[in-house]
Structure formats: structure tokens, C-alpha cells
Amino acid sequence: MGKARFGEGKLVMILVIVVTIVWLGLVVYGTGRPLPWGLSLEGPSRAVSNVEFLADCTFQRDGQPVREQVIYNRMCRIVDDAERFVLLDLFLFNSVHAPEEKFPALSDGLTSRLIEKKQRSPQVDIVLITDAINRSYGQDEPKHFRRLRASGVRIIYTDTSRLRDSNFLYSAGWRLACQWFGTQGTGWLPSPFASTGPAMTLRGYLSLFNFKANHRKVVANEKEVLITSANPHDASAYHSNIAFVAQGGVIQEVVESETAVASLSGETLPRWELPARSESGGVHLRLLTEEKIKARLLTAIAQCGSGCSVRMAMFYLSDREVVAGLLAAAARGAEVRLLLDPNKDAFGRKKNGIPNRPVAQELVEKSQGRIQVRWYGTHGEQFHSKLTMISLPGQTVLIGGSANLTRRNLDDLNLEADLEVTALADAQVVREASGYFERIWQNKDGIYSLDFKEFAEKSPFKYALYRFQEASGMATF
């Protein structure tokens, strides 16, 4: 009897050791696996005459909300103006929100626009690349996507399982025990996004906790491309966002980059012939995706010293290399000013201020006040912008698009797309971006931003929690 129990215990121990070794192997595999073809792109610098800067702002004036929204309308215009193709890569494209809240019907409006375009111009290819979040990580398509597909719009769901693991401790176990069962089936669990959202399967939830995303926000035709921080998502309709609109050869690079995302998902895109254009002008732009966004950002910040400046308008700031780069720039004498979301609002839910509040506290304290921080005064919506402006001797570098400055967004984990724009300080795009920042910072014509002390965060626990979540990936930022 005793020998049998000893034998059973030994067998259990061997099984635990084997499972642990396999799990650790999957951690190594999931974090270090080769990137699929075409990701983490740094495009060539292209000379153009101008790049447009757009901004959405929700703010307070005389105690009432003011909403200035232009990016969505520009998305629709790009659809309307297309003659050969419309290519969209959109993270959030749905109407899910709490029933008691009222928002503009962005997703339905863009859906109708695309269907009408296909009906009017059947020769125009329309391709939508999106994230599985829009079907709640299951197999059932939402109604508006079924309408699009029925009209001839092609829909590609990104296979994020082929990306590296950001929540690697969890994802190793998921790969070992859960991925084989898929996500099909009838949902029976409440949606985590809203009480009226589609029910989810348990397997859908298990897939969600990998925290992987195609987070890009791109709309292009053969004439121009819009790269933005804004989603055509009803519950995001009042968020503050930014966008760049560009023409020229960068469109071909966007198409090639999206071809790589389609390939990742087992799909191919048509080979569209783009009109030839001669490129010249005083503005230089470059397409950046995934980790190349951080590489170019850190390179520009590293050039900042006395007489230079860094200005950020950012939804999430948590990446440790970026934090170190900002502190080093401030120590060299650069002016560093940060406009941050206070991380208190998330689609009707209250957040705990992580990561921005602990990070801001660290930056202000370690720089001895040389780094200045103001908070965007949100009232249920989010300050969802992702823009950095770096003023150097003789030029200004703008980097903006879909990417927050977090490990998940910058370390070849999520799919992201930004534009880098380099120009003289008096170039129109620089003046517009600078005017946007200063308007918010100085509260011109309304109340946009609040003093740092309004959300100062000195909790050691929250700082420790932020550091753990940033390093482990066990968070949504």
C-alpha cells in the first residue's frame, strides 16, 4: 500500500515537472518566436509638399461639453473618393455600449457608406481588416459585418495567435491547454464590454486574456491614406484623437504592410496599381509599424538637449525605455511637457489611474520638476491621442497614429501603425500639431487640461502594480 502511494506520488511529481518544462518552453517560444513576414516595418523617408494634421477634441466651455469631431468625416470622404480600392484596417468597429448611454452611430454610418460605395462603384475593391474583438472573440459575425460581406466587402479577421505573446505567463498555459478547442459555439457568458454586448463563450474569454490585438487604425484609397488613433466605434465617438493624412508613395508601403497582415491571417490582397507620382517638397514622412515606432522615437528623443523640446499627447505612457529617454532628455536640458489621460474612464467603468498616474509621478519626481505634466479633463470619454512632437535644431519630428507608448504597443506584440513626419518648425503640419498641443496645454477658448496635482499619485502599491503589469503583460494597456 505504502509503495503504491509512493509510486503515485512519484508519478505526479514527474508529471508536474514535465508540464512545467513544457510550459517554460512555451513561454520562451511565445516571447521569442520569429515575427511573421512584413511586420515591424520602417519605410523609407519620402519627400512631400504637405501632410495634413487632424484632431478631435471634447472639452468644456462655460460648463458645457463641446465636441469637435473631424476624423470620422475624413474616413468617410476617403471611402467616397476611391476609384480603385478602399483598404481599411480598424481595431474597434462596432456599436456595443451601455444601453443608458447615447452615442453617434459611427459604425452603422461607416457600414452604410461602404455598402453604398460598393453599390455605386462595384469595380472598387473594398477590404476591411479587423480584430476578433469585433466578433467578441467568437465565430459569429456581428450584423453590420454580415451586411458588409453580403454587399461584396471583403472582411479579414487578423490571426493574432501568430503574434508574440504579451501576456506570456498566461498565454503559455493557453497554448498548452486551451487553443486546441477553438472559440466556436453559442455564447452564454455576459460581454465584458457592455451589458447589451453579445454573449461570449468561455473559450472566447480564454482567448481574450491573451491580450493580443491588431490595434491599427488605417483607411486608404489609391489617392491618400489616413493613419489615426481614432476608431469608428460608437462608444469612442467623443474621444479626443489625432490623425495624419498623406499622399504619394507611402500609400504603396501601407498596402504592402496590410498585405503582410492579410498574409498573417492566411489571406491575400489584390495587386492594386497606384498612380505614379513625383515626390518632392520640404516635408518628409515615413511609415512605421510595431517596434520600429519605438526605435525611431527613442532615436529622436536621444538628440534632445538644451534648446530642444519633447511634447507628448498620450493616452497610455508606460514603456520603461521611453520613460528613461524622457528623463535623460530632461537631464540634458530639454523642455519636456506631457499631456496625459488620467486613466479614470473606460466606457462607463472607472479605472484606477494605472499606468499614467504612477508613471507621471515618477517622471516629475525623478526629474525634480523639470518634466511638466498636465492631465486632460475627461468627463466619461477618453483623451485617446497618440502624438509625440520633438523639436530639434533645424527640424521638428512628429510621430503619431495608433500606438500608445507601452510595452505591448511598442515591442512587436500588438500590430500598430504610425507616421513619422519631419519638417521645419514653420511647416503647416508642424504649426497645426503645435497649435493643437498649446491650445490644450494653455486652455485656450475652453477647459481642456488640469494641473498635475489633480491626479498626483504617490501610492507605492500602485507604482509596484504598474511595474508588474508592464513587465508581465497582465493588463490591458
Measure the CA–CA gap between 321 and 302, rounded to whole angstroms.
Answer: 11
Distance, CA of 265 to CA of 256 (rounded, Å): 14
Domains along the chain? 52-264 (3.30.870.10), 283-472 (3.30.870.10)
State residue 400 phi and psi, 5-degree precision: -160, 160
What is the structure's pLDDT at 378? 96
Look at the alpha carbons of 277, 268, 115, 118 in this order and tell me if their dihedral is positive or negative: positive
Instruction: Tell me the three cell numbers of residue 467.
Output: 511595474
**What's residue 392's pLDDT?**
97
Beta strands in 352-430 (DSSP E): 371-376, 386-392, 395-401, 417-423
pLDDT band at residue 15 under the 50/70/90 scheme = confident
pLDDT of residue 191: 82
Give the per-residue pLDDT at 449.
Answer: 98
Amino acid 1: pLDDT: 54
For the stretch 337-347, pLDDT in tens is: 999 999 998 88
Q: Are 142 and 93 in contact (CB under 8 A)?
A: no
Exposed, middle or buried: residue 256 (CB in 10 Å: 0-12, 13-18, 19+)? middle
Quick: pLDDT tens for 69-85.
999 999 999 999 999 99
Nearest to 53 by CA among 374, 466, 401, 368: 401
Helix (H) or strand (E) holding 362: helix 356-366
For residue 53, name the pLDDT band (cuts at 50, 70, 90). Answer: very high
Average pLDDT on 16-20 reads 86
pLDDT of residue 441: 98
Q: What sign results for the dihedral spanned by CA atoms 246, 249, 253, 254? A: positive
Q: What is the average pLDDT across 422-431?
A: 96
Question: 336 with 309: CB under 8 angstroms?
Answer: yes
The reported pLDDT for the residue numbered 13 is 84
Q: Which residue, among 297, 311, 362, has the nearest Cα to 339 in the 3D structure?
A: 311
Q: 225-245: per-residue pLDDT in tens?
A: 999 999 999 999 999 999 999
pLDDT of the residue at 467: 97
- Whether 106 shows a pLDDT value over 80: the answer reads yes
Q: What is the pLDDT of residue 105?
A: 95
For helices 291-302 and 320-331, the axis angle rounded to 10 degrees is: 10
198's grid cell: 453579445
Residue spans of alpha helices (H) in 93-241: 106-120, 143-151, 168-177, 202-208
pLDDT tens by residue, 350-389: 899 999 999 999 999 999 999 999 999 999 999 999 999 9
pLDDT score at 4: 60
| Amino acid letter for position 170 | Y
- How far apart, in whole angstroms, are the C-alpha atoms of residue 180 and residue 194? 28
Runs of H (alpha helix) within 184-247: 202-208
Residue with cell 486632460: 376
Q: How many residues does the chain have?
A: 477
